[in-house]
Amino acid sequence: MKLLAIETATEACSVAVHVDGAVIERFEIAPRRHAELTLPWAGQLLAEAGISRRQLDAVAISRGPGAFTGVRLAIAIAQGIALAIDRPLLAVSTLQALALRAPVGQQQVLAAIDARMGEVYAGRFACADGQWQAIDAEQVMPPQALVLEGQGWFGVGTGFAALDGALVQAAGAALAGVDAGALPHAADVASLAVAAFARGEAIAPERVEPAYLRNNVALTIAEQQALREARA
């Protein structure tokens, strides 16, 4: 299978090309440069892989949750490419892609991204038959609202560094370890997308929907003041 994957939902920008099991990727922490980098990287990787856009079987993206602008950018670019070559899209969860950053051997992962505004995007995933599956619905919430039962969880993502590590404190003894610097990669988006394609989950480009989890993108002045007081 030949697939192009795009991930721009966080401060990291990455693009990957999957060709029959082999994956090449460009990845860079590049705030506000996603629009500048994504398309050139896609062209470079396709050339490096020795294929053209029209040889692709599908295009994949991480659909969020994450930065509103980054999520919209990935969808717009992927839709443009997919429509131009008449190929389907595969949209995978950004948090599920992030879960693949956990060390090999982990069985339970809590993936979390800093959502700003005193909240985190969080999703719980378990490994079954070599595949990471969501345990329940992804959420946007204050870290203090986390309820994590059992032990042996591994935490990945910037949500664990946000708000002075509040999510780590809320998880407590349930966490066996944390990688608070982990960011989602397009290579992992590609891995999830290839499996989704095999399950028949590819859809028409115009049907792709972002997963924002919330509608407001900024706090009012009063809300900012209330948040500062709560932290004091």
Residue 217: the pLDDT is 47
Q: Quick one: 170 and 189 in the same domain? A: no
**Is residue 130 over pLDDT 90?**
no
Cα 133 to Cα 39: distance, rounded to the nearest angstrom = 30
Examine the domain organization and report whether 132 and 201 are in the same domain. no
Q: How confident is the model at residue 131 (pLDDT cuts 50, 70, 90)?
A: confident
174 plus 197 within the same structural domain: no
Pair (90, 112) in one structural domain: no
The answer to whether residue 28 scores a pLDDT higher than 80 is: yes
**Domains held by the chain: number:** 2
Using the 8-state DSSP alphabet, how is residue 103 labeled? P
Same domain, 86 and 7: yes
Quick check: is 218 in a domain? Answer: no
Helices (H) and strands (E) in the chain — how many of each? Answer: 6, 11
Question: Which pLDDT score is estimated for 219?
Answer: 36
Encode pLDDT of 163-197 as tens digits. 999 999 999 999 999 999 999 999 999 999 999 99
Are 101 and 113 within 8 A, CB to CB? no
Percent of the chain beyond pLDDT 90? 88
Do 106 and 164 belong together in one domain? yes
pLDDT at 75: 97
Cα 115-35-96 angle, rounded to 5 deg: 40
Q: How far apart are the first and last CA of the chain?
A: 53
Give the model's pLDDT for residue 218: 40
* Residue 109 in domain: yes
Residue 60 has phi, psi (to 5 degrees) of: -125, 150
Of 128, 136, 177, the residue nearest 155 (C-alpha): 177
Q: Are residues 125 and 168 in the same domain?
A: yes
Whole-number pLDDT of residue 222? 41
Dihedrals phi, psi of 218, to nearest 5 degrees:
-155, 150
pLDDT at 194: 97
Q: What is the mean pLDDT of residues 16-30?
A: 97
Torsion sign over Cα 180, 185, 191, 195: positive
In a domain, 220, yes or no: no
Residue 223 domain-assigned?
A: no
Are 189 and 128 within one domain?
A: no
On average, the pLDDT of the chain sits at 92
Tens-digit pLDDT profile for residues 91-113: 999 999 999 999 999 999 999 99
pLDDT at 229: 53
Domain housing 147: 102-179
Same domain (yes/no): 69, 106 = no
5-14, 16-25, 55-64, 210-219, range with the lowest pLDDT: 210-219
CATH number for the domain harbouring residue 73 = 3.30.420.40
